[in-house]
Structure 1
């Protein structure tokens, strides 16, 4: 449905993962592993990825985070629009 967010799913497609990897390329300090995704079709695609997040240091705890990404089909590029800790 255009404009509305899909339900979260653990079925992350190859295209979803490619957008995620493109947007987070070069991000240092925290490792994000997507475990669920929700999408919104707009002028491109907005993604909300629920991720396992771990700061890059020995023994760092794993926590949940939401990574928001926008994929622009015109630019064929994805970029992070927000990251927030979920606890």
Structure 2
């Protein structure tokens, strides 16, 4: 609805100005809220990254442990065969 349509519909100038002010304020608050949301998502992303890094480190440690066990078992098998 345009400004003139609002006035012709019976809305007073002060009502129109008040509503426009409220709309502008809400738009500004929305911009701030979107920025906060982006920050929260980045924090969550960083936390997930830390969790992923820990999982990767744990997996590497487990892999190293299995490699050591495999090497020991292969050595034991070699000794038994010889």
Bin for the TM-score computed over the shorter chain: under 0.3
Q: TM-score, normalised by structure 2?
A: 0.20
Q: TM-score, normalised by structure 1?
A: 0.19
Higher strand share goes to which structure?
A: 1
